[in-house]
Amino acid sequence: MDNKSNYKYLLSDLTSLKGVGIKTANLLKRKKINNIFDLLWKLPKSYTDRSVSSKIKDLKIGENQTITISPQKYSFPRIRNLPNKVLCSDDTGEIDLIFFNSYEGYVRKILPIGKEITVSGKIGFFRNKYQLTNPKYISEDSSLIKQKHNTYSLTEGISEKLYNKIINQIINKLPILNEWHSNKIIKNFDNINWNESIKKLHSPETIGNYKKNFYRRLAYDEIFSTFLVNSEIRKKIKKIKKKNKIFLEKNQNEIIDKLDFSLTNDQKNTLEEINKDLCSSKKMFRLLQGDVGSGKTIVSLLAAFNTIISGFQVSVMAPTEILARQHYNLAKKLFPKNLNIQFISGKSDYKTKKNILNKLSTNEIDIIFGTHAIFQKKVTYKNLGLIIIDEQHKFGVNQRKKLSDKGGNNCDILLMTATPIPRTLTMTMYGDMDLSIIAEKPKLRKPIKTYSKLESKINDVIKFVKKEIKVGNQIFWVCPLIDESKKLDHSSAVKKFEYLKKLFPNQVSLLHGKTNIEEKEIILNSFLKNEFKILVSTTIIEVGIDFPNANVIIIENANKFGLSQLHQLRGRVGRGDKESTCILMFKSNLSDNAKKRINILKESNDGFYISEEDMKIRGFGDILGFKQSGIKNFKLADPIHNKDLFLLAEKEMKRIEQSNEDISKFKPLIKLYDRADIINDIA
């Protein structure tokens, strides 16, 4: 096979394998195994050693063992549902082989009387005799059985025997691919090639050897392919020539002078980076990453103002109407009165919406705020120059690329997130974008005091809440579940609401995932206006709304949350100039990891440090549930254990970019890792 045929084989349909029909292929596809290459990443969890044959007298009940025996006598009952039985023996004793749901003819064929047969399976004992029910392996050729067989986590309907047969078939036919890495890179892995690495990945002797060179080489392939894709997207976006924005800094400074606080150094530096992009002839594709309460919004609004002054329109999208309205109100307060600033909402009547859409298409509106509705197909902009999207961590690489394309050549893109992410994750998740970070908190923001409290001490917490309400403050009370669950020992938001409203009549409201959007907006607005004092909620209050008067958050079952999520929840308070408090409530029987999480949160208000610690404790893919949010889900690579490989891949990628090296030799690597929808197909 030539090199191109080798890749075609690896990416071919499962039905091209011997013994894999449509039914088996569909069972595998349920596990997201769609081609031969996908099967290679279904790793063995252990192996069964059938290479050693035992005598009947030495058998161990309950263990998988291999024996060589001779069938002596058949017993085929005429009563339906009774099993077929074959009495077998060796020179040390007898054993019954039991077959359920097997035809008489099949049993006679595989176990001919008097022949020497090797069988393998789990040994049982019944009525003073050894027995083996539905043996996994039966053959006259003992060499086919006397091997080490891998054990896999199987999908229902596929036997271990069939799975091993399929995997062994692929391993035996595994093509030798042309090396895509340089000699310098391969030296890091003792020059092991891709083919040998895959074989060792499935070899019983090397199962789970994550520190070995074969494993690290394959993990590096995965990381580097992601970096290649991100680099190509960056290049494609940078090639787009746009009309540069022209504005004077003095206009921007007039807005800054209106603020009742000074910008931090991080805010100033970030604004400078964004302004440089806006004034460039290359399209901006930038992520603004900041810790909770670090002041990203004001930076984005200043960038929006500079874009408007340049004669372009701006669109600002937020995940909820209340957050979009909050940004809109701040813009109305800061921007000159002659600018046309609009807000579009699901509640806006048809006539208002139609009027706004018409004005957008004729360039009469300078800046519009809203939810995802402002990017629907029917919404057209006359001269869109900047798209700002707040809290965008649910956007994957493909969605971001589509967004960039939709904006048109002259439109810059600024995405914002309040989720601090460890560096290794940022490199892979957002490697297609330029990155600005605001880590420094505004000077007026006081650190949130964090305490832990046993659930049995709830009366102390209630006393504290009463005292806070008396001085005019508001409280978030967060519970993990909406209703009671018999399976999970969590507090219920509904039950807590019932409990608290008896203690604080007419001062408590409830918000959870089942609350409809309109009702949710009403509740949050009422809380913002200080119409009630305690908001009992599930975790849906996480994302970035400012409630300056809420300065206490109580989180029940705090041990059930990850560190990053606890930090995000804690960030709902401390948005004003008052001293704020976070109380983490827990039961007495805490795991060591739960104790670690609570102590880290009590020690630090730094989201970047917390996210690093969170990843160390919980592992990759579990931070804020990102695994389900379009983030690259690695098969082998781990940002904690393979940090050195991420840095090596980053260094190599920079070298390739700086030397403008042709990357065509890497296209097969990209194609194998299923990213060819972004990069061109193999030539």
Q: Is residue 444 domain-resident?
A: no
Token pair listed for 516: 């409809």
Which of 37-41, 46-50, 96-100, 343-347 has the lowest average pLDDT? Answer: 46-50
Q: Is residue 172 domain-resident?
A: no
Write the DSSP string, 423-435. HHHHHHHSTTSEE
Domain end position, chosen among 112, 146, 180 = 146
Q: For residue 303, give the CATH number of its domain.
A: 3.40.50.300
Instruction: Look at residue 333 and tell me whether its pLDDT is greater than 50.
Output: yes
Q: Is residue 426 domain-resident?
A: yes
As for how many domains the chain has, the answer is 4
> What is the CA angle 626-631-633, rounded to 5?
100
- Closest C-alpha among 256, 292, 254, 293 to residue 271: 256
Residues 467 and 526 both lie in one domain: yes
What is the 8-class DSSP label of residue 394? T
Distance CA 130, CA 124 (A): 6
Residue 462 sits at φ, ψ, to 5 deg, of -60, -40
Distance CA 371, CA 62 (A): 60
Q: Is residue 161 domain-resident?
A: no
Percent of the chain with pLDDT over 70: 87
Task: Give the position of tokens 């880590």.
Answer: 439
Q: Is residue 305 domain-resident?
A: yes
Residues 212 and 357 both lie in one domain: no
The confidence band for 279, taking pLDDT boundaries of 50, 70 and 90, is: very high
Tell me if 113 sits within 8 A of 78, measured CB to CB.
no
Residue 450 CA, distance from chain mean position: 28
Report pLDDT for 246. 92
Residues 395 and 461 both lie in one domain: no
Q: For residue 63, give the CATH number of its domain.
A: 2.40.50.140
Over residues 87-114, the mean pLDDT reads 91
Distance CA 622, CA 629 (A): 11
Domain end position, chosen among 548, 583, 604 = 604
Residues 126 and 261 both lie in one domain: no
Instruction: Look at residue 630 and tell me whether its pLDDT is greater than 50.
Output: no
> What is the CA angle 638-286-620, rounded to 5?
15
Residues 469 and 414 both lie in one domain: no
Those residues whose C-beta lies under 8 Å from the C-beta of residue 248, and which sit 6 or more positions away, are 309
Those residues whose C-beta lies under 8 Å from the C-beta of residue 151, and which sit 6 or more positions away, are 44, 45, 46, 47, 48, 160
Domain end position, chosen among 604, 633, 661 = 604
Residues 527 and 385 both lie in one domain: no
Distance CA 393, CA 415 (A): 9
Residues 592 and 461 both lie in one domain: yes
Over residues 622-630, the mean pLDDT reads 38
Phi-psi region of 648 (alpha: psi -120 to 50; beta: other; left: phi over 0): alpha
User: Residue 554, exposed/middle/buried by CB under 10 A (0-12, 13-18, 19+)?
Assistant: buried
Residues of the domain holding 545: 449-604
Q: What's the mean pLDDT when you consider all of the chain?
A: 82
Instruction: Look at residue 629 and tell me whether its pLDDT is greater than 50.
Output: no
- Closest C-alpha among 293, 200, 225, 350 to residue 570: 293
Q: Is residue 178 domain-resident?
A: no
Residues 594 and 560 both lie in one domain: yes
Comparing 314 with 158, which gets the higher pLDDT? Answer: 314
Angle between helices 563-570 and 607-618 (to 10 degrees): 150
Residue 193 CA, distance from chain mean position: 30
Report pLDDT for 620. 47
Residues 134 and 207 both lie in one domain: no
- Residue 94: what residue type? E
What is the 8-class DSSP label of residue 484? -
Residue 623 sits at φ, ψ, to 5 deg, of -70, 115
Q: Is residue 268 domain-resident?
A: yes
Tell me if 69 sits within 8 A of 111, measured CB to CB.
no
- Residue 326: what residue type? Q
Those residues whose C-beta lies under 8 Å from the C-beta of residue 447, and which sit 6 or more positions away, are 574, 605
Report pLDDT for 651. 92
pLDDT tens column, 110-145? 999 999 998 988 899 998 899 999 887 888 877 766
List residues bridging with 84 in a β-sheet.
Answer: 99
Q: Is residue 582 domain-resident?
A: yes
Report pLDDT for 321. 80
Instruction: Look at residue 681 and tell me whether its pLDDT is greater than 80.
Output: no
Report pLDDT for 623. 38
pLDDT tens column, 200-227? 888 877 776 778 899 999 999 999 998 8
> What is the CA angle 164-167-172, rounded to 5?
115
Residues 204 and 104 both lie in one domain: no
Which of 220-229, 292-301, 443-452 has the lowest average pLDDT? Answer: 443-452
Report pLDDT for 552. 93
Residue 47 sits at φ, ψ, to 5 deg, of -145, 155
> What is the CA angle 379-381-385, rounded to 5?
130
Residues 460 and 379 both lie in one domain: no
- Residue 487: what residue type? K
Residues 337 and 273 both lie in one domain: yes
Report pLDDT for 489. 47
